[in-house]
Amino acid sequence: MSQTPPICLLTDANILIDLAQANALHLLRLVTDAGIATIAVPHCVYAEARSEIDETGILGCGLIMVHESLETKIKAVSINEKGLSDTDKTLLQMAMERHYSIWTNDGTLHKKCKAYGVLAYWEFEILLKLYEVRLVAADDLLELAATLETINPRMKGMREKLSKDL
């Protein structure tokens, strides 16, 4: 039986911020240790999330810090897409160059990823994989969803939606 190779993800700051504020950063370590995904944190994302998690914390969660090259930054600036921040454009450019997927809760970024042929995952798409391999209980994911609903207004209704997937 062959094992599925891990997904290579570039994470957006919103994932790190959500999990830090919900005291659930340990889930990142489970994702990487279980071989579900290799998670890379671009420097531009770290700059946005460093008030919630420092570099030591990122590395302690099994994540990899990556720096975007000057060439990548220049190419990213040329992406002329409304609704994308400079960080979003850099993530998109890095994903195209490295053949990585993006892990984000940003709906606009999801749409642009699709348009550019980059696979994007929602926060709980990856976290559900922990449930599938029996590393996290359904109740724990539902509790996390409820917590995130109170922390992040964009997550409203997530617990109910997630309960249908469990």
The answer to whether residue 35 is domain-embedded is: yes
Residue 124 domain boundaries:
7-136
Predicted confidence (pLDDT) per residue in 108-159, tens digit: 999 999 999 999 999 999 999 999 999 999 999 999 999 999 998 888 999 9
The answer to whether residue 164 is domain-embedded is: no
The answer to whether residue 143 is domain-embedded is: no
Greatest alpha-carbon span in the chain = 45
Spatial neighbors of 143 by CB under 8 A, at least 6 apart, are none
Do 106 and 84 meet the contact criterion of CB atoms below 8 Å apart? no
pLDDT at 1: 43
SS (HEC) of 97-155: HHCCEEECCCHHHHHHHHHHCCCEECHHHHHHHHHHCCCCCHHHHHHHHHHHHHHCHHH
The answer to whether residue 56 is domain-embedded is: yes
Number of domains present in the structure of the chain: 1
The answer to whether residue 31 is domain-embedded is: yes
Predicted confidence (pLDDT) per residue in 22-64, tens digit: 999 999 999 999 999 999 999 999 999 999 999 999 999 999 9
Predicted confidence (pLDDT) per residue in 75-115, tens digit: 999 999 999 999 999 999 999 999 999 999 999 999 999 99
Beta-bridge partners for 102? 10, 120
The answer to whether residue 148 is domain-embedded is: no
CATH of the domain at 59: 3.40.50.1010
The 8-class DSSP code of residue 36 comes to S
